[in-house]
Structure 1
Amino acid sequence: MTEDRKLHRRPAGGRPPKQRAEEAGTRILETATHLFASRGFAGTSVEQVASACGAGKDTIYRRFPSKVALFEAVVEHVRDRALDRLNGLAPVDGDALKQLKALLRAYLSINMEPDLVALKRIAFSEAVVFAKSSAASSGSDPFMERLVEAVRAAQADGFLRTGDAPSMASHLIHSLVSLPTTNAMLGGSDYDSPEALDAHFAVIWLWMTEGVIAR
């Protein structure tokens, strides 16, 4: 019996076919995430993903017509997982500036997740392969949308100067994540520990809120 028939046949007392198909899709994506992150894009084949997750190669190709399509689905899967983590954050007590600070610290941790770092490294190293799909993938970014909202709230309460909130949010997050993520993508371990990230965040937050010019 083929994998597809297994996915759509419902045994007595078993899970509905749709649920089992979704579980199979998640299993494929989780397996592909691990393989891409550990072996890179060139070092991972659809056949390896099929073997590791116990699915038929034809089943994977029906869902994802190419390895590039599979990788793009993996990136989206990891982003959705990060968004679930963000949405699950406990509410922060305090004013708009404290809430912005907590959100930025959470974004820093999310951006340093090993799977996300590994996928970014692949996307940069395989820029030619993904150039076409990257150019076509434009749309809303729930992470930035939430950050812009937090910046606007802090502006409205007088904690931040007025101005273009999206641009300010972009500069804030770039200032925080560019150094540690670049270090990690190049194989460094300077920011592997929560303590190192805390120290980095404390310095950058101080510079962002108080400036670097002696007064």
Structure 2
Amino acid sequence: MAQAKPSGECRPRGRPQLRSDEETRRIVFDAARHAFAVDGYAATSTEELARRAGISTKTLYRLFPGKAALFEAMCADRLEQLLSAVDLQGSDEVDIETGLRAALLACADLALDPEVVALQRMVLQESAAFPELAANFYNNGIFRTVRTLAGWLRVQVKRKRIAIDDAEEVAGMLIGMVASAPQRAAIYGGMPLPSRKQIERRVQTCAALFLDGCRAA
């Protein structure tokens, strides 16, 4: 009589299920974010990135022409995810101060996101040798955030809630008020990023300064 095979041996055989290119890109982005943050851009090779992602260098080059293209795509992808969650659409039922606080808080959440700050730190460290990194980070992150807030400000101007001439210039000033000092403290001073409560308090102060000023009567 034939002896029955143990159940552990009765496994279906065949080729493993292939990942889509989109799934593979996500894995590469995760591996690259960690590698760049820990080892830096210059010290991270494409071979190391492929190894961390569990793919061949041939597959990596098929998806991304080179390390610079990978870095640009990685930044754009992460910032796109964060920006897609930013809703700055004003409502006629919300007063201007409440709306401005909500808009500034959304921008602060993006600017002070730990991953974004880590990327900015790395870009600053590598910018002398790789100036294209700084340009890509600015265009995909900083400028897009300013442009998003500027669009919200233009809506408020159209509704005659505020009077400003250059919405993009004002948006840059507001984001600078909210985020620049905490960013510099974290990047250059090694200070922890502000807590949610601290960010909310900073946003409240910035909104009041913008709308009411601080000149004594």
Please give the range of the TM-score, normalised by the shorter of the 2 chains: 0.7 to 0.9
Cα distance change, pair 99–180 in 1 and its aligned pair in 2 (3 A): same
Deviations 1:17-64 (A, max 9, x none): 7x7111111111121112212332234332222222211122212322
Q: Which moved more, 1:114-123 or 1:141-150?
A: 141-150
* Amino acid corresponding to residue 68 of structure 1 in structure 2: A
Deviations 1:174-202 (A, max 9, x none): 22111111112225334332122222222
- In structure 2, C-alpha distance between the alignment counterparts of 1:135 and 1:191, rounded to whole Å: 24
- In structure 2, C-alpha distance between the alignment counterparts of 1:29 and 1:139, rounded to whole Å: 16
Give unmatched runs, 5+ long, in structure 1: 1-10
Cα distance change, pair 187–64 in 1 and its aligned pair in 2 (3 A): farther
Which residue among 196, 200, 204 is the counterpart of 1:198?
A: 200
Which residue among 167, 170, 182 is the counterpart of 1:168?
A: 170
1:61 correspondence with 2:34:
no
Give matches, 1:1-215, under 5 Å. 20-86=20-86, 94-132=94-132, 142-186=144-188, 188-215=190-217
Percent identity over the alignment is 27
Report if aligned partners of 1:86, 1:106 keep a CA contact under 8 Å in 2. yes
Q: Which moved more, 1:50-59 or 1:148-157?
A: 148-157
Give unmatched runs, 5+ long, in structure 2: 1-14
Report if aligned partners of 2:27, 2:53 keep a CA contact under 8 Å in 1. yes
Cα distance change, pair 193–134 in 1 and its aligned pair in 2 (3 A): closer
Q: Which moved more, 1:95-104 or 1:129-138?
A: 129-138
Cα distance change, pair 190–118 in 1 and its aligned pair in 2 (3 A): closer
* Amino acid corresponding to residue 151 of structure 1 in structure 2: L
Query: How far 1:73 moved relative to its partner?
Result: 1.8
How many pairs are equivalent?
200
Higher relative contact order (CA 8 A, sep 6+): 2
| TM-score, scaled to structure 2 | 0.77
RMSD: 3.0
Deviations 1:137-189 (A, max 9, x none): 86895433331122122223343223222221221112211111111222533
Larger Cα-atom Rg: 2
Report if aligned partners of 1:32, 1:49 keep a CA contact under 8 Å in 2. yes
Cα distance change, pair 144–24 in 1 and its aligned pair in 2 (3 A): same
Q: SS of 2:130's equivalent?
A: helix
Report if aligned partners of 2:108, 2:179 keep a CA contact under 8 Å in 1. yes
Cα distance change, pair 134–194 in 1 and its aligned pair in 2 (3 A): closer
